[in-house]
Amino acid sequence: MPTLQVRDLPEDVYVQLNYLAEKEHRSLSQETIVILKEGITSKLGNKDRRRKMLEKANVLDIDGSKLPDPVTLIREDRDR
């Protein structure tokens, strides 16, 4: 299994990581791996979601300049 060494880790990050590890009853290494996995999954998921939304917008041929003004829509909704 590969090894990762982090240099110049800010003290506050280390303290927070250590706190979370103790709270979750994990070693510092285990907690670091869990947090890295969650962050990577989240970041990749966000990019994938954004890409899919852009694809949908292109398929639907949505042009932002042709959409109604949101202020007008809210005003109409409130007047009902």
Question: What count of Cα atoms within 13 Å lies in the side-chain half-sphere of residue 10?
Answer: 3
Taking only the tens place, the pLDDT of each residue in 12-57 is 999 999 999 999 999 999 999 999 999 988 888 888 888 888 887 7
pTM greater than 0.85 = no
In the numeric block, which tokens belong to residue 17? 């990581």
**Residue found by looking up tokens 């880790």 in the block:** 9
- Helix, strand or coil, per DSSP, at residue 65: helix
Domain ranges for the chain: 11-79
